[in-house]
Chains A and B, each alone.
Chain A
């Protein structure tokens, strides 16, 4: 029996602890997906809750052709789309350089586009390589302040470990835009850590 079948069986048998655990584990990523489709946090919570209700209603019919998680997120996306604003990706989230152009040498320099001597990234000290509690707090806070779609992609990919094609599917993104959003989000977070790092 696969892990998935075991979980489905426990849910069907009414195992409340198993249900609470899976709701706790998957809802953060579900909230992020919902946020990419609807405007307010309250609506995103409603969408996730509604999706879980759909899961409970449909659990009897779940056939295990896809993984349970894929099936749950499919229900979520359908729910979110029904409630969604259907905006295209905001272009402002995709455009412009991710590193301050002033850190690079100008076009008339011998090495145009190279780091200026005083602004090249420095290697972090060994002790900074394991993030301190302080840097953790900075990173966690910075994540919540990313533009919505960058945050969705970074959280799904780097926090929750979803594969790229699944993220494209859940957020209605082309593979190219998914990478651009991931890149911009990661670059932003790195730059914030760079300033905060000792």
Chain B
């Protein structure tokens, strides 16, 4: 009899583990379970693929910075300080 080191995880459980998986926060047994599942399950593999694409896309999203007024005020102060 073999003692499997991996526990079967359902799709529903797996999708909640993927950030911990990507963050390296799972134990080696959990990693093995996740990877075993991903190798066999197209739906979950597609889910992870979408997550990765989305994370990559976020890297080039532009988000709001300070208002122009605040920025101008700061530069004004900066000018005063170095004079």
User: Does B67 lie within 8 Å of A186, measured CB to CB?
Assistant: no
Q: Is B43 an interface residue (CB 8 A)?
A: yes
Q: Is B1 an interface residue (CB 8 A)?
A: no
In the complex, what distance in Å separates the CA atom of A20 from the CA atom of B77? 12
User: Does A20 lie within 8 Å of B46, measured CB to CB?
Assistant: no
Question: Known contacts A56-B77, A179-B19: does B46 contact A193 (CB below 8 Å)?
Answer: no
Binding site for A on B (CB under 8 A): 10-13, 15-16, 18-20, 23, 25, 41-44, 46-47, 49-51, 53-55, 57-59, 61-67, 70-71, 73-75, 77-79, 81-83
A residues less than 8 Å from B65 (CB atoms): 24, 27-28, 31
User: Does B61 lie within 8 Å of A98, measured CB to CB?
Assistant: no
User: Does A190 lie within 8 Å of B54, measured CB to CB?
Assistant: yes
- How far apart are B57's CB and chain A's nearest CB, in angstroms? 5
Q: Is A113 an interface residue (CB 8 A)?
A: yes
* Additional A-B contact list (4), CB under 8 Å, known A101-B12, A139-B57: A56-B78, A113-B10, A115-B11, A190-B51
Binding site for B on A (CB under 8 A): 12-14, 16, 19-20, 23-24, 27-28, 31-32, 45, 48-49, 52-53, 56-57, 97-99, 101, 104, 111-115, 120-124, 129, 131, 135-136, 139-140, 143, 154-155, 158-159, 161, 164, 175, 179, 182-183, 186-187, 189-190, 193-194
- 27 residue pairs of the A-B complex, CB under 8 angstroms, read A14-B78, A14-B79, A16-B75, A23-B66, A23-B74, A23-B75, A27-B65, A28-B64, A31-B64, A32-B63, A48-B66, A53-B77, A98-B15, A99-B15, A115-B44, A120-B42, A124-B53, A131-B53, A136-B61, A139-B57, A158-B59, A159-B58, A183-B20, A186-B54, A186-B55, A190-B50, A190-B54
User: Does B50 lie within 8 Å of A114, measured CB to CB?
Assistant: no
A residues less than 8 Å from B82 (CB atoms): 12-14
A residues less than 8 Å from B67 (CB atoms): 45
- How far apart are A72's CB and chain B's nearest CB, in angstroms? 13
- How far apart are A160's CB and chain B's nearest CB, in angstroms? 8
Question: Known contacts A120-B42, A121-B47: does B74 contact A139 (CB below 8 Å)?
Answer: no
A residues less than 8 Å from B18 (CB atoms): 183
Question: Known contacts A113-B12, A159-B63: does B46 contact A123 (CB below 8 Å)?
Answer: yes
Report which of B20, B50, B66 forms a contact with A124, defined as CB distance below 8 A: B50
In the complex, what distance in Å separates the CA atom of A45 from the CA atom of B16? 35
Identify the closest chain B residue to A160 (Cβ).
B63
- How far apart are A104's CB and chain B's nearest CB, in angstroms? 4
In the complex, what distance in Å separates the CA atom of A83 from the CA atom of B20? 33
